[in-house]
Structure 1
Amino acid sequence: MATEATTTKFHNSDFRAVPPPPDYLPEITVAPHHGLHFWQFMIAGSIAGCVEHMAMFPVDTVKTHMQALGSCPIKSVGVRHALRSVLKSEGLPGLYRGIGAMGLGAGPAHAVYFSVYEVCKKYFSGGDPNNSVAHAVSGVLATVASDAVFTPMDMVKQRLQLGNGTAYRGVLECVKKVLKEEGFGAFYASYRTTVLMNAPFTAVHFATYEAAKRGLIEISPESASDERVMVHATAGALAGASAAVVTTPLDVVKTQLQCQGVCGCDRFKSTAIRDVTKTIVQKDGYKGLMRGWIPRILFHAPAAAICWSTYEAAKSFFQELNACTESGTIT
């Protein structure tokens, strides 16, 4: 009787489904944009790069003035002073000097940048979308390739940004004068420094971006299906700001090398990073290595947000285009 009484206390309704432990919950993943062609990654990257740099070009001009040493007409110690000096000297157009050189370099460079990144990420990740090491390594390889394309035009851009005192009236004249007076090597004088700066920048940038993007999607799972623009913009801003602070000293060295001898700025006997760094420290102290860090953050945080949201939107467009083409909707 005791046994029967015990068994009658239990009913099927008492056995409710227990949620699986966290380790067995379905994994939230980010749509990988399957089926895109290599040239589509290139076009998406090119569009993203041009939109990013055009939108943020005035901030980049202010940063260049802050980092340039010597007796330049505009020698600035702060963001406000730099901005006022540029506007007083040349007006609003002064903030956009060199934008043509930027356009000629940014488009092709970002096409290389993102296409190489996507190919390398697919190769190194081994099918794991959360492999931070693969993202970082892919970013480093992408920047080595893209910097080879962008460095010459970046040098022209920065020389034009220094203002009318540079004696360069445009991109073509600057290129001709540099070739005649300094030789072809001048276009790549800062390439080693640029790569050493952008390698850690890109490693931090891509690893932070991918981790932040995934984290934001896990916080708001309903956005995982369509990858909302705000997710890419926020993750990009966090990645850009983090990477910008870490690499400011090398960016100062790069600017010094690219602007040396122009508009009264110092000319260095050696292009070695150590020698240029010593000169900066001797003249300005260690704080000189962090000159321009505020505009770098002001540039890279929104720039990365613009770039990533534009890039992902372009990839989504191409994915839909490919789907329509395969289904016969577009002939």
Structure 2
Amino acid sequence: MVSYKLLCCISANGMAGSLATLLHDGVMNPAEVVKQRMQMYNSPYKTVLECIRTVHRTEGMGAFYRSYSTQLTMNIPFQAIHFITYEFMQEQFNPRRQYNPSTHILSGAVAGAVAAAATTPLDVCKTLLNTQENVVLSSVNVSGHLSGMANAFRTVYQLGGVAGYFKGVQARVIYQMPSTAISWSVYEFFKYALTKRELEKGTPC
């Protein structure tokens, strides 16, 4: 049974993660748009600056934030699922919350995998909004620029049905598992090392 203390911890982490995500995505969303456009097959952009200038000139500043709401809709539940799964795994395998690298790596990997799989449909829609691939849009008779998460969801369904929402799910999970495992294990290591140093000094943490 999930303890009251664990629920409070999850709530606090979820709130902090949500606020951090709002600020992080506000800064990083334009960078994600540029990255994805340069990664497109036969991308017309040769440099980052050329991509920024061309997109700004032809589509306006709004193009860099067309997928912002989708990004938030994806990242907030991703972080919530991520933290909840990590805390749950730790409760199962390391209930005393001691420094234990193997449980931190395992919990981090599972948390990343679950969060990545659950939010893949949102990632697919975000990518479509960011890239605005003409071949894709013309194949479903979309003229102009695709905007809004609802439109992106409809377009993805038109293109590939339910399976279309999970395109690339294996690659996304494989990418996130080592990423979150490394992040949590490094975080737990430094928390342990710093706490141990403070205790040795006799300073209360």
TM-score (norm 1): 0.52
Is the Cα contact below 8 Å between 1:197 and 1:250 reproduced in 2? yes
Structure 2 counterpart of 1:217, from 94, 116, 120:
94
Task: Please point out which of 48, 59, 64 is paired with 1:171.
Answer: 48
Q: Summarize the Cα distance change of 1:317–1:159 in structure 2 as closer, same or farther, 3 Å threshold.
A: farther
Counterpart check, 1:158 vs 2:36:
yes
- Residue number in structure 1 paired with 2:123: 251
1:204 corresponds in structure 2 to 81
Q: State the partner residue of 1:280.
A: 156
2:156 partner letter: I
**Counterpart pick for 2:110 among 228, 233, 238:** 238
Distance 1:210 1:308 in 2: 11
Give yes or no for contact 2:132–2:145 (8 Å, CA) kept in 1.
Answer: no
Contact 1:133 1:207 in 2 (8 A): no
Question: How much does 1:198 deviate?
Answer: 1.2
5+ residue gaps, structure 2, are none
CA distance in 2, matches of 1:260, 1:239: 31
What is the RMSD of the two structures over their aligned residues, measured on CA atoms?
2.7
Contact kept? 1:136, 1:206, Cα under 8 Å: yes
Report the residue type matching 1:147 in the other structure.
D
Given the alignment of the two structures, is residue 290 of structure 1 paired with residue 166 of structure 2, yes or no?
yes
Q: Is the 8 A contact 1:139 1:202 kept in 2?
A: yes
1:297 aligned partner, one-letter code: V
2:132 to 260, 277, 287: 260
Q: Is the Cα contact below 8 Å between 2:157 and 2:164 reproduced in 1?
A: yes
SS at match of 2:105: helix
Residues 295-314 of structure 1 mapped to structure 2, 5 A cutoff: 295-314=171-190
Deviation at 1:231, TM superposition (A): 2.1
Going from structure 1 to structure 2, the CA distance change for 1:242 and 1:179 (only over 3 Å counts) comes to same
Distance in 2, Cα, partners of 1:286 & 1:169: 34
Q: Is the 8 A contact 2:67 2:148 kept in 1?
A: no
Contact 2:67–2:129 under 8 Å retained in 1: yes
Over residues 270-323 of structure 1, what are the superposed CA-to-partner deviations in whole Å (9 max), with x where a residue is unaligned? 412111211221222221111111111111122111122223334445556777
Match in the other structure for 1:64: none
Counterpart-to-counterpart distance in 1, 2:84 and 2:163: 28
Q: Is the helix fraction higher in 1 or 2?
A: 2
Is the Cα–Cα contact under 8 Å of residues 193 and 250 in structure 1 kept in the other structure?
Answer: yes
Match status 1:185 vs 2:67? no
Distance 1:313 1:305 in 2: 12
Cα deviation for residue 256 of structure 1 reads 0.1
Specify the alignment match of 1:134 in structure 2.
Answer: 12
Q: Tell me: CA distance 1:187–1:316, structure 2 relative to 1, closer, same or farther (3 Å).
A: farther
Q: Is the 8 A contact 1:238 1:301 kept in 2?
A: yes
Per-residue CA distance 1:106-161 (angstroms, 9 max, x = gap): xxxxxxxxxxxxxxxxxxx9xx4552333333322322222112211111111222
Q: Match of 1:147?
A: 25
Q: Deviations over 1:55-85 (max 9, x none)?
A: xxxxxxxxxxxxxxxxxxxxxxxxxxxxxxx
**Which secondary structure does the structure 2 equivalent of 1:167 belong to?**
coil
Other structure's SS at 1:285 match: helix
Equivalent residue for 2:72? 195
* Cα offsets for 1:201-235 (capped at 9, x unmatched): 111111111221232213xx5xx44x122222111
Q: 1:152 to 1:320 in 2, by over 3 A?
A: farther
Tell whether the 8 Å contact from 1:233 to 1:309 is kept in structure 2 after alignment.
yes
